[in-house]
Amino acid sequence: MEEAAHEEKLQNLRSKATEFLLREEYKESIQACSQFITLCQDYISNDSPHFDSDHFLKLQKSICLAFSNRAEARFRLKEFSASLEDCDEALRIESTHFKTLLCKGKILLNLNRYGVALDCFRAANLDPLANENSEIVNGYLEKCKKLEFLSRTGAFDVSDWILNGFSGKTPELAEYVGAVEIKKSDISGRGLFATKNIDSGTLLLVTKAIAIDRAIFPQNSCENVQLVIWKNFIDKVVDSATKCGRINCLISKLSTGENEDSIEVPDISLFRPEADDDSSFSCEKLDIGRILSILDVNSILEDAISSKVLGKNTDYQGVGLWVLPSFINHSCDPNVRRLHIGDHVIVHASRDVKAGEELTFSYFDVLSPLSNRRGMARNWGFSCRCKRCEFEDSICSNQEMREIEMVLGKGLVDMGGVVYRLEECMRKWMVRGKAKGYLRASYWEAYLQVYESEKLMRKWGRKIPSIECVIDSIVDAVGSDERVVKLYMEGGLKRGVGGYNGVVEMEKAMKLGKGVYGKIKKSETDLTKFAMCVDTKKVVSNEDTLMHLGNEISGSDAYRITYTASSQQLANGCLDNPLTPRLPTIEEMDTNGNIFIFAFGVGDSKNNYSWEWFLFKLKKPYGEHDDLVIASNRHGSIKNAVKKVFPTTLHGICCYHLYKNLKKQFGKKGKFIRQPLNAVARAYPEAEFETQMRLIDIIDDDIRIPCK
């Protein structure tokens, strides 16, 4: 009797743990798994002399599965260190356990340990269960192989994404550390240095943020509102450091802004993807005070200037922590640039770099005057002493320069006169080479206003340098910039055939672009695409919208339009109009529980071909993910299309639509079905489902057919 009661208790715990896992109640699932494991282990240790081998093996298999389920739940909560420990415990019991190998592979993949993750997926693929899950396992294998190759070779190519105007699916990136090392810096504390000669545009490193938080704030937002993003960001960093020993150790290597001379210089191998597992990270746990100091010094703001030029919302703000880029010091005369792609930062050389040279990028806008840059440096808590700042400090003491600054400060002045006077001063003082580029970069706004104004160019065009001359000078001094490329391309538009379509000028545009975005593959088509992607006149306000006007399906069955982003005009316009054609839509729910339209199409009727076309166009940018679920009404065409286009995706029936159909079909009886129908929809075990279905049978047993 006692043994039977014990078995029943174990069975209940096992069922609870599984149910919690399916319901995504991961903390509860972890608790139930832990209780199950403890009970089993106690039972084995207390009664081991009386065990027969079959009973012992059965218990061991149950413990293995419990460790595996707990590992999965911890993985979903991003508790990677604890999850890996559970996987190892399960594999000690059964070294080829399919579910555990798959889970461990996913954890290692998230920790960027591509080689070891690949070994796990290969081992899982040998299991007979892999045949039933071949698409999932093969998907992980292919992804892992690709990321391992990218991480090992650095052969990233984001050209298509850049040349297509930064639209479509974000490129898949892996962690990569190139020819760099960490050393003591003459600028401040420690810095990142080149270990060999590097050409402009060469990729130096790719890394994903430890944590990042983004928001859109109006420009007049009060300080309290802007602090919200900072608080969320801190919470994410603390959560990541608490759950993963590797992340905790990497963060601990960053500076707090104190004792810079005596601070340890970590080996670059620590930051490479193939670094050892968590067991090698014996760093002390970080307290909240130290984390705050580290974030205050090392957090990186996402590039607002890039957002404006590329047509993104100008009120967009983002802050993140990328560990290795945090070692790169500031200079107003930088030699590297960073490009944000999703949660990753790509760092590449913006000009040629010599072996042993320190890598620097600008923490703020380099195309601004010395006084502005000094103010921004003070906000960051340091004083810049780069060659550019020292030169401008010496020359800006001249009376003429002070007068130019005073005129600019008043606003509403003839910028052509300001540029002409600055050029005359440089000629008189015999300013040459990079020094001339420094001053032109500092007064970029004045030059820009002149070159963008036909009126000012008619007045001053022959008295000031050409656009090409000024751009060459600025790029040689401080590197390329999106705004510089944009000005060059717009200048080409005005020059017409001899300029914009000229091979030499297009090659130069690509060279400028290489300094901003890294190396871009070149072909005649690519040159044209690049020109279009920096021509901001062609960037729409809702740039993340994908539109397709197609006629792949002839006749009235074709869907005319597919969007994969919503707009206010859609909500207020199309959807309120009485349309003769059908208007199928795809909705999603945001983190606040609000439903919004994710995609829609316009067509003449609901049929298999149209739905297949619509879902195929949706799948191209969105893809098919492990956690994707499609819910719809019971229309047969939708069912057929989902089965064909999204074969591995769970397809469920919308309970609300089903209730409306039943209410209409069964008249008065349908009014009483809402509560039991909701209970059926939420039932997990089959026994619970049948219990609730019997309640529906009492109302009308014919209702069971559409419910099933």
| pTM, full prediction | 0.69
Beta strands 360-361 and 329-330 are: parallel
Residue 175 in any domain: the answer is: yes
Specify whether 334 is located in the same domain as 234.
yes
Domain residue limits at 429 = 370-480
Three-state secondary structure readout of 529-558: HHHHHHCHHHCCCCCCCCEEECCCCCHHHC
Residue 492 in any domain: the answer is: no
Residue 20's CATH number: 1.25.40.10
Last residue of a domain, one of 480, 498, 515: 480
386 — phi, psi (to 5°)? -75, 170
Specify whether 59 is located in the same domain as 82.
yes
What is the number of structural domains in the chain?
4
Specify whether 335 is located in the same domain as 211.
yes
Specify whether 263 is located in the same domain as 351.
yes
Specify whether 583 is located in the same domain as 609.
yes
Q: Give the pLDDT score at 208.
A: 94
* Token duo for residue 209: 């943020």
Last residue of a domain, one of 327, 361, 395: 361
Q: Give the pLDDT score at 572.
A: 40
Specify whether 579 is located in the same domain as 557.
yes
DSSP codes of every residue in 163-189:
HTTS-SSPPP---EE-SEEEEE-SSSS
- For 398, which DSSP code? S
Over residues 438-462, the pLDDT tens digits come to: 999 999 999 999 999 989 999 998 9
Residue 430 in any domain: the answer is: yes
Q: Give the pLDDT score at 576.
A: 40
| Contact between 209 and 343 (Cβ < 8 Å) | yes
Q: Which residues of the chain have pLDDT under 70?
A: 1-3, 47-51, 216-226, 276-284, 303-316, 411-412, 492-504, 520-598, 600-607, 609, 620-622, 625-626, 666-672, 700-708
Specify whether 664 is located in the same domain as 681.
yes
Residue 497 in any domain: the answer is: no
Specify whether 380 is located in the same domain as 414.
yes
Q: Give the pLDDT score at 340.
A: 87
3-class state of residue 212 by DSSP: strand
Task: Report, in angstroms and rounded to the nearest whole number, the Rg of the chain calculated over CA atoms.
Answer: 31
The alpha carbon of residue 342 and the mean position of all alpha carbons in its chain are separated, in whole angstroms, by 3
Strand partners, 203: 348
Other C-beta atoms lying within 10 Å of the C-beta of residue 454? 10
Residue of 596, 594, 591, 565 whose CA lies nearest to 232? 591
Alpha-carbon span 442 to 423, nearest angstrom: 13
Residue 512 in any domain: the answer is: no
Residue 573 in any domain: the answer is: yes
Other C-beta atoms lying within 10 Å of the C-beta of residue 283? 14
By the 10 Å C-beta count (0-12 exposed, 13-18 middle, 19+ buried), 249 is classed as buried
Residue 670 in any domain: the answer is: yes
Residue 313's CATH number: 2.170.270.10
Given phi > 0 = left and psi -120 to 50 = alpha, else beta, which region is 190? beta
3-class state of residue 192 by DSSP: strand
Residue 541 in any domain: the answer is: no
Given phi > 0 = left and psi -120 to 50 = alpha, else beta, which region is 479? left
Last residue of a domain, one of 429, 452, 480: 480
Over residues 611-661, the pLDDT tens digits come to: 777 777 777 666 776 677 888 877 778 888 888 788 878 888 777 777 777
Specify whether 184 is located in the same domain as 80.
no
Strand partners, 562: 548, 601
Specify whether 142 is located in the same domain as 179.
no
Specify whether 446 is located in the same domain as 344.
no
Q: Give the pLDDT score at 651.
A: 81
Specify whether 195 is located in the same domain as 133.
no
